[in-house]
């Protein structure tokens, strides 16, 4: 990750959103955009280009799955790496069925998080 990497974190839980930001900053990311739900995330994406989207599954207004679907329908945004996070392990199969390939469950260890982010930003 480079200092100019921009990451959008869509999560309504503020303490967890701040923890994710702290982890990203420890990886060298200096620009972390916040959104408390999928609708705000879409507004942010209309204003700024990002290199990675990290989204919670369950959020008010527009959940993470619907956010992902709308991104996939948009030609300029369908290629942005997308990481889904959720405290519900039962959602993994549903996420895969929707085409969401990258998923981690809460709680997660810092090394699990950083490894997944690096994998998404530096695909082989």
Tell me the domain boundaries of the chain: 6-121
Residue 5 to residue 52: CA distance in whole angstroms: 8
Residue 35 to residue 13: CA distance in whole angstroms: 10
Report whether CATH 3.40.250.10 matches the domain 6-121: no
Residue 94: what pLDDT?
83
- The pTM of this model reads 0.94
What would the pLDDT profile of 71-112 be if each residue is shown by its tens digit?
999 988 999 999 999 888 777 778 888 889 999 998 999 999
Mean pLDDT of 12-31: 94
- Identify the weakest region by mean pLDDT among 11-15, 20-24, 74-78: 74-78
């Amino acid at each position: 990750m480079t200092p100019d990497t921009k990451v959008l974190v869509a999560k309504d839980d503020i303490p967890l959103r701040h923890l994710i930001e702290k982890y990203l900053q420890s990886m060298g990311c200096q620009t972390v955009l916040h959104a408390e739900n999928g609708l705000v995330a879409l507004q942010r994406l209309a204003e700024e280009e990002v290199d990675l989207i990290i989204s919670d599954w369950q959020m008010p207004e527009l959940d993470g799955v619907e956010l992902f679907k709308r991104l996939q329908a948009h030609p300029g945004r369908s290629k942005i790496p997308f990481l889904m996070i959720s405290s519900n392990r039962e959602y993994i199969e549903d996420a895969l069925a929707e085409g969401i390939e990258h998923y981690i469950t809460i709680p997660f260890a810092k090394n699990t998080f950083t490894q997944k982010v690096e994998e998404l930003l530096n695909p082989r």
